Structure 1
Amino acid sequence: MEASRIAVAGASGLIGAALVRSLTADGHEVVRLVRRTPRAKDEVEWDPERQYVDAAGLTGCDAVVNLAGAGVGDRRWTDAYKRKIRDSRLLGTAALAEAAASLSPLPRVFVNGSAIGFYGETGERAVDENSPPGDGFLPSMCVEWEEAAAPAEEAGVRTVFARTGLVVSAKGGAWGRLFPLFKAGLGGRLGDGRQYWSYITLHDEVAALRHLLDTESLSGPFNLTAPQPLTNREITAAMGRVLHRPTLFAVPAPALRLALGEMAGDVLGSQRVLPTRLLESGFSFAFPGIEDAIRAAARG
């Protein structure tokens, strides 16, 4: 993509901040959506809960990227927090999609965040973008999340859904909590360790988002996960090898359920997700293997 004006919601998050750095380094003009009065010329105000976007500030944007949403793993899933997880995604997506649809000229692309939570529990069964949604809170939320982008799609804006897996990073997210434990020699499998984890490095996540932004022929859902999902047991062993630490500890499933409540199902659940459409589109992973992924994350 030639130097463009690109709006990013969720620009302060783990993925959003890395994407902004990448785009800016390549000469793109990035407009960051903020939930306060703008303090810089590259900021535009929005309020997802009120479904408000200062659409005038998005004028001239070639692309809109929505990565905003309350952290799924930030706290225990009370009914109130589940509403926050859902509303922060659905209301924000609807507001941005409507703002994008109102622009003249229209943006060329709307990239909306989503998650492999779309597929729910898959056990040992591999799934890809052709697979139906699963059952439960996260799958139903992901379906609604993607449907909320309809105004942009119906207006003729190329719309892409980035179904992201577990991001391997020492800087944040679920994996960011694992690194200190493993470095202290306190790492270990979760439950029986047989559940599949579908992961992607932060580097490849950003590269994949850039690929989706740049490739005019791509629309619809794309799984942003490395080509070979592994079990929690295999990933635990790889963390130990790369960080040169023992992995003797294990957290029993009942203890996780007691500590995390309903969210434990997401930790103990198995999701064997393949990036079929991403690979078919010509994307190449820099860190497809888990040990290289962990080393890349450890280097920052």
Structure 2
Amino acid sequence: MSENNDSVKRILLTGGTGLIGSAFIKKYQHKYQFDVLTRQRVSVNCLFNNEENIQLLYGIRDLDDLNDYDAVINLAGEPIADKRWSLQQKRNICHSRWNLTHRLSKRLNNSSSPPRVFISGSAIGYYGRQNSIEIDENFDECYQEFTHRVCKVWEQKALLSHAKTRVCLLRTGIVLDKNHGALKKMLLPYKMGLGGRFATGHQYMSWIHIDDMVRAIEFVLNHPHCQGSYNLTAPNPVTNAEFSATLAKILNRPNVATMPGFVLRLLFGEMADLFLFGQKVIPKKLTDAEFLFQHPQLEEALNDLLAP
């Protein structure tokens, strides 16, 4: 495959205040013109106010079509692990993804000169809980649970526009960034000497370094042959026990505590499934397309993120 960097100049991006969206903009803001669609007026102004090549949009209703854009990157959605999964929170998780994605597809279909590519978020939760089976993008024996339903409909909404543009779906794993997301939440208990595995620790964690995450998005953005679903995970997933031991080693802290499954259930309810079950996900389509991971091994990735 050959890149065509001249083809993409102006990008409509949703989810610009999130972990992935903000990192992508910061890395590429001098390469592309970004129109950031957001409802988080305060947060987005703090992040990007008066930044070069960034324009802020506060509502999709003013966009009848998307003719002015070369690409759309859709990363918006209620964080899935920030709150206990009440019925209302489940609705928020679903509809924050489904409604906007549907509206973007509708505007793509209304465009006489549509963007060249629509890159839309998803997650490895699409596959549901699995054991130690190695999963690539062709795996279709998904476990029917909440995370699968969220991602399946999310992807279907994006694919409504596939007749008008190239659609890429980002099945994202655990994104490692020391200042945000899952890794940041793990650091405090380890620094207090309370780090350790969840339950048996046998469940797999499919992770990706934030730098590889944003590089992979740009890779599919600029490679016209990339389309369909992509696993955005490092090529070497590890078990929860391995992850815990490696993080403790990097931090030079104990790794002796164990969080029993029943305690996780008491604390988080159904959301505990995110910690108790996993997937061993392989980024086959990315590696087949010759995308080169800068951080393929967990210990090196954590060292890069956490070294003084």
Whether these two folds match at TM > 0.5 is: yes
Q: CA shift at 1:175, angstroms?
A: 1.9
Q: 1:241 aligns with which of 241, 249, 253?
A: 249
Give the 3-state SS of the residue equivalent to 1:170 in structure 2.
Answer: coil
1:230-269 matched pairs, under 5 angstroms: 230-269=238-277
Tell me if 1:180 matches 2:184. Answer: no
Q: What value does the CA root-mean-square deviation take over the aligned residues?
A: 1.8
Give the 3-state SS of the residue equivalent to 1:242 in structure 2.
Answer: helix
1:106-185 matched pairs, under 5 angstroms: 106-132=114-140, 133-154=142-163, 156-185=164-193
Counterpart CA distance in 1 for 2:108 and 2:306 is: 37
Task: Give the TM-score of the pair, scaled to structure 2.
Answer: 0.90
Aligned amino acid, residue 63 of structure 1: A
Tell me if 1:34 matches 2:38. Answer: yes
What does residue 95 of structure 1 align with? 103
Counterpart CA distance in 2 for 1:36 and 1:163 is: 24
Counterpart CA distance in 2 for 1:12 and 1:248 is: 36
Give the 3-state SS of the residue equivalent to 1:148 in structure 2.
Answer: helix
What does residue 92 of structure 2 align with? 84
Q: 2:10 aligns with which of 2, 5, 8?
A: 5
Structure 1: state its 5+ residue gaps: 47-51
Aligned amino acid, residue 65 of structure 1: I
Aligned amino acid, residue 117 of structure 2: V
Counterpart CA distance in 2 for 1:77 and 1:20 is: 30
Q: CA shift at 1:56, angstroms?
A: 5.5
Aligned amino acid, residue 33 of structure 2: E
Give the 3-state SS of the residue equivalent to 1:142 in structure 2.
Answer: helix
- Asked if the contact 1:110/1:158 (under 8 Å) is kept, the reply is yes
Counterpart CA distance in 2 for 1:138 and 1:108 is: 29
Q: CA shift at 1:36, angstroms?
A: 6.5
What does residue 49 of structure 1 align with? none
What does residue 45 of structure 1 align with? 58
Q: CA shift at 1:58, angstroms?
A: 4.7
- Asked if the contact 1:23/1:30 (under 8 Å) is kept, the reply is no
Counterpart CA distance in 1 for 2:299 and 2:62 is: 44
Q: Deviations over 1:209-260 (max 9, x none)?
A: 0101010111000000011111000000000111111111111111001100
- Asked if the contact 1:185/1:247 (under 8 Å) is kept, the reply is yes
Counterpart CA distance in 2 for 1:95 and 1:23 is: 26
Aligned amino acid, residue 150 of structure 1: L
Q: 1:63 aligns with which of 60, 68, 71?
A: 71
Counterpart CA distance in 2 for 1:252 and 1:264 is: 11
Counterpart CA distance in 2 for 1:36 and 1:181 is: 30
Q: Deviations over 1:22-53 (max 9, x none)?
A: 2213x21011002277987701222xxxxx44
What does residue 298 of structure 2 align with? 290
Q: CA shift at 1:81, angstroms?
A: 0.3
Task: Give the TM-score of the pair, scaled to structure 1.
Answer: 0.93
Give the 3-state SS of the residue equivalent to 1:208 in structure 2.
Answer: helix
Aligned amino acid, residue 21 of structure 1: K
Q: 2:197 aligns with which of 180, 189, 193?
A: 189
| Runs of 4+ with deviation above 3 angstroms | 36-41, 56-59
- Asked if the contact 1:44/1:57 (under 8 Å) is kept, the reply is no
Seen in structure 2, the aligned counterparts of structure 1 residues 261 and 98 have a Cα distance that, compared at 3 Å, is same
Tell me if 1:276 matches 2:280. Answer: no
Structure 2: state its 5+ residue gaps: none
Tell me if 1:202 matches 2:210. Answer: yes
- Asked if the contact 1:169/1:298 (under 8 Å) is kept, the reply is no
Aligned amino acid, residue 235 of structure 1: F
Q: In percent, how many aligned pairs have the same letter?
A: 35
Deviating more after overlay: 65-74 vs 145-154: 145-154
Counterpart CA distance in 2 for 1:112 and 1:179 is: 30
How many aligned residue pairs are there? Answer: 293
Q: CA shift at 1:189, angstroms?
A: 0.5
Seen in structure 2, the aligned counterparts of structure 1 residues 20 and 299 have a Cα distance that, compared at 3 Å, is farther
Q: Deviations over 1:151-183 (max 9, x none)?
A: 3212x2000000000011112112220122222
